[in-house]
C-alpha cells in the first residue's frame, strides 16, 4: 500500500490527460490527487468510501470497475475506473481509482474522428486527381494521334502541290509554245495568241497560288511542331503529376489507416 501511495503522483503525471487519482484502504480514502481542472469539491482523504463509488465496488468484487459519474455528483462529469489492490497473499487491502474528464474523452474522440474524416476526404480528392491524371494522359495520347494525322495530311497535300506545280509548268510551256506558233502564223494566229496568253496567265496564277499554299502549309507545319513539343512537355508534367499523386495517395492511405486506429484506440482507452 505504501508503494502505491508513493507512485500515485508519478502515475498521474504519466497519464497524458487531466485526471484525478484516489487511493484507499478497504474503508477510507488515503489519498486524493486532483488534476489541473478536475478538482474535487471536498477533500476526500480520510472520508469513508461511498458504496456507489467504483473504488468500493472494485474492493467488494475483486475486479476492475468502470462507470460514468454524472455532473451532479462532483460538479463535472468524468469516467471513473477502479481496480482492487492486493497484498502478497492475494488479499484485497484497498483500491486505486482513476477519474478522467468526459470533456477530455470527447475532445480526443472528436479529434480522432475529425482526423479520420479529413483523411478520408483528402484521400477521395487525391483519387479524383489520380483519375484526372489518367484522363489527361489519355487526352494527350489522342492529341498526339491527331497531330500525327495532321502531319500525314500535310504530306499528302504537298504531293498534290507537286502535281499542281507540274501542271503549271507544263501549262506555261504550252502557252509559250503556243505564243511562238501564233507569232509564226502572223495575222492568222491572232486568236490562238489570245488563248496562249490566257494559258500562260493561268500557269502564272497557279504558280503564285502554289507559293501561297506552301507558305500556309509551312506555317501549319510549324504550329503542329509547336503543338507536338507542348504535348511532350505536358506529357512529362502529367507523368510527374501521376507519380506524385500515386505517392501521395499511398501516404494518405497510411494516414487513413492510422486515423482509424487512433479512433479505435481513443474509444477503447476512453471508454
CA distance 92 to 77: 28
Confidence of residue 258 (pLDDT cuts 50, 70, 90): low
Residue 8 or residue 17, greater confidence: 8
Architecture of domain 2-106: 2-Layer Sandwich (3.30)
Per-residue pLDDT band for 63 (boundaries 50, 70, 90) equals very high
Per-residue pLDDT band for 259 (boundaries 50, 70, 90) equals low
- Is 193 within 8 Å of 176 (Cβ atoms)? no
Question: What are 76-88's pLDDT values in tens digits?
Answer: 788 889 999 998 8
Q: Are 43 and 51 in contact (CB under 8 A)?
A: no
In the CATH hierarchy, which fold is given to the domain comprising 108-270?
Helix Hairpins (1.10.287)
Q: What does the pLDDT read at residue 226?
A: 80
pLDDT of residue 255: 67
Domain ranges for the chain: 2-106, 108-270
Does this model's pTM top 0.75? no
* Lowest model confidence (mean pLDDT) among 68-77, 184-193, 234-243: 184-193
C-alpha–C-alpha distance, residues 258 and 247, integer Å: 17
The CA angle 44-47-52, to the nearest 5 degrees, is 90
Cell numbers at residue 145, please? 494521334
How are beta strands 65-69 and 19-24 bridged, if at all?
Answer: unpaired
Averaged pLDDT score across all residues of the chain: 77
- Is 20 or 211 the better-scoring residue by pLDDT? 20
Regarding predicted confidence, which is higher, 45 or 132?
45
Exposure string of 173-202, with b = 16+ CB inside 10 Å and e = fewer, is: eebeebbeebeeeeeebeeeeeebeebbee
From CA 151, how far away is CA 149, in angstroms rounded? 5
If DSSP states are collapsed to H, E and C, what string results for 106-155?
HHHHHHHHHHHHHHHHHHHHHHHHHHHHHHHHHHHHHHHHHHHHHHHHHH
Q: Which of 64, 68, 105 is nearest to 86 (CA)?
A: 64
Taking residues 92-115, report their average pLDDT: 77
Average pLDDT of span 61-68: 92
Q: DSSP label at 65?
A: E
pLDDT at position 99 is: 87
Tens-digit pLDDT profile for residues 190-210: 666 766 677 767 767 767 777
CA end-to-end span of the chain, whole Å?
27
Amino acid at each position: 500500500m505504501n508503494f502505491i501511495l508513493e507512485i500515485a503522483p508519478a502515475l498521474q503525471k504519466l497519464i497524458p490527460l487531466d485526471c484525478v487519482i484516489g487511493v484507499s484502504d478497504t474503508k477510507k480514502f488515503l489519498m486524493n490527487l486532483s488534476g489541473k481542472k478536475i478538482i474535487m469539491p471536498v477533500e476526500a482523504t480520510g472520508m469513508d468510501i461511498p458504496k456507489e463509488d467504483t473504488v468500493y465496488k472494485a474492493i467488494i468484487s475483486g475486479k476492475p470497475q468502470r462507470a460514468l459519474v454524472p455532473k451532479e455528483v462532483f460538479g463535472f462529469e468524468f469516467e471513473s475506473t477502479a481496480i482492487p489492490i492486493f497484498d502478497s497473499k492475494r488479499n484485497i487491502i484497498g483500491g486505486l481509482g482513476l477519474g478522467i474528464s468526459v470533456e477530455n474523452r470527447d475532445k480526443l474522440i472528436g479529434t480522432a474522428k475529425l482526423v479520420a474524416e479529413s483523411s478520408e476526404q483528402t484521400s477521395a480528392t487525391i483519387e479524383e486527381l489520380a483519375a484526372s491524371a489518367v484522363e489527361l494522359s489519355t487526352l494527350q495520347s489522342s492529341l498526339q494521334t491527331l497531330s500525327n494525322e495532321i502531319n500525314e495530311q500535310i504530306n499528302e497535300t504537298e504531293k498534290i502541290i507537286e502535281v499542281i506545280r507540274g501542271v503549271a509548268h507544263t501549262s506555261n510551256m504550252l502557252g509559250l509554245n503556243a505564243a511562238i506558233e501564233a507569232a509564226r502564223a502572223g495575222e492568222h494566229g491572232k486568236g490562238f495568241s489570245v488563248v496562249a496568253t490566257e494559258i500562260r496567265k493561268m500557269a502564272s496564277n497557279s504558280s503564285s497560288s502554289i507559293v501561297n499554299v506552301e507558305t500556309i502549309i509551312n506555317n501549319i507545319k510549324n504550329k503542329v511542331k509547336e503543338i507536338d513539343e507542348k504535348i511532350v512537355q505536358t506529357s512529362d508534367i502529367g507523368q510527374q503529376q501521376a507519380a506524385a499523386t500515386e505517392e501521395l495517395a499511398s501516404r494518405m492511405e497510411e494516414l487513413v489507416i492510422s486515423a482509424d486506429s487512433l479512433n479505435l484506440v481513443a474509444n477503447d482507452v476512453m471508454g
